[in-house]
Every structure is written in C-alpha cells, then in structure tokens.
Chain A
Amino acid sequence: DTGVSQNPRHKITKRGQNVTFRCDPISEHNRLYWYRQTLGQGPEFLTYFQNEAQLEKSRLLSDRFSAERPKGSFSTLEIQRTEQGDSAMYLCASSSGLAGPHGETQYFGPGTRLLVL
C-alpha cells in the first residue's frame, strides 16, 4: 500500500456538467476526509466519514455536492451542475482513527484539480 490515491488527477469540464472524483484511502484507515483548496489558500474541510457513515459536513458543501463511502473503503465526491466557482483542488485524506496522535494524523492524497470552463 503506497498511500492515499485519487483519480482523476485533473479534470476539465464545462459549466453545468456533473463530475465525480474517487479517493482510495490507506488500507484499514477507517476515517476519510474531503477538503477543497483554492489557489493561495489552505485546504478547507468539506466532509468526513467514519467507515461508511458520513459524520460531518461543512456549510461549504452545497446541495450540488454529494459524497459517499458505500463499503467503508473508497469514497466518491460528486459535483452536480458545476459552476466556475467550483474550480479548485479537491483533496482526500485518511486516518486510522485509533486513539492517540498517530491515529489522528491525516495522510493526504495528491488531489484532483478541477477546472470548470
């Protein structure tokens, strides 16, 4: 296992189209997080899963955004009716969720860079 992977790495789409991103966390990590990062800013939290349960969602996650983690392993993030303001890097991270600092540490994937034309 080589870490968190995300696909695709880049996505260009036209305004109004739907897009879906995939994240594969580190094996046996039961927590999975989605963040959005715009140019010159730090990542902003979108949502997180404990196994298959979505436990928290940010107010940034509008109704056009939906995330799933159906079997508690990989996760998908879908954006419907994309807008130019959705252009950003979408980062996925995972953590083991075990007690203590090692369990709390989040490991990040390479991100999916979305450009909405």
Chain B
Amino acid sequence: AQTVTQSQPEMSVQEAETVTLSCTYDTSESDYYLFWYKQPPSRQMILVIRQEAYKQQNATENRFSVNFQKAAKSFSLKISDSQLGDAAMYFCAYLPTGNQFYFGTGTSLTVIP
C-alpha cells in the first residue's frame, strides 16, 4: 500500500522563526516524486516545493527547503524566517511516476505575530 503520514495535525511558529513539518511515506517504488502543497483557508492548493526521488540533493525554494531521506522514506519541510502569509494547511504528497497523487492528512500551521 502506498500511504503518506503527516503525524503533526497542528503546528505553530513565531514570526521570523523556523519550523519543520514532518512527512513519511510508504512505497516499494524506486522512482517517484514528492511534493509539498500549501492550502490557505478557503483558497486553492499551491505548490510549495518538489523533490525527485533520484536526486540526492535536497530541494530548496527561497525560504522553503526539504530534508529528503530516501532510505528512511522521510520528507520533511523546513520553513525559515516564517511569515504571517505562511499560515495554511500543508499537505505532503507522493506521486509514483505518471500516476495519481497520494496525500497526507495535512498539518495546520499557525504563525504567531
């Protein structure tokens, strides 16, 4: 079975601080993609960052970076210098090549001013 687990239903971070959201997944595939999406309240899902499983180098996008541990099947998201606009539900998603997404249950991030 291909499942994605986000063990932190809620997280909070002080503005300008750093927070890490965890994600683990289960798969027998060797080639796949991993994504983090952000869903602000009542707004649409937005791509935050993407990682190809065959790349050892961790992806980074400005203040967002991942810690991808393929052997451990772990894919955490680090948000540096947190901003109020980062408050949202964050979903980790696993994508076997050319197939459907498998999403976790999400982590609700609160940014405290």
Contact = CB atoms under 8 A, between A and B. Distances in A.
Contacts, number: 50
B100 A110 contact: no
Interface stretch (B13-21, B74-82, B91-99): B91-99
Interface residues of B, number: 24
A43 to B, nearest CB: 5
A58 B4 CA distance: 17
B50 A45 contact: no
A65 to B, nearest CB: 16
Contacts of B37: 108
Contact of B44 (A41, A44, A111): A111
A21 B86 CA distance: 30
A85 interface: no
A44 to B, nearest CB: 7
A2 to B, nearest CB: 12
B101 A106 contact: yes
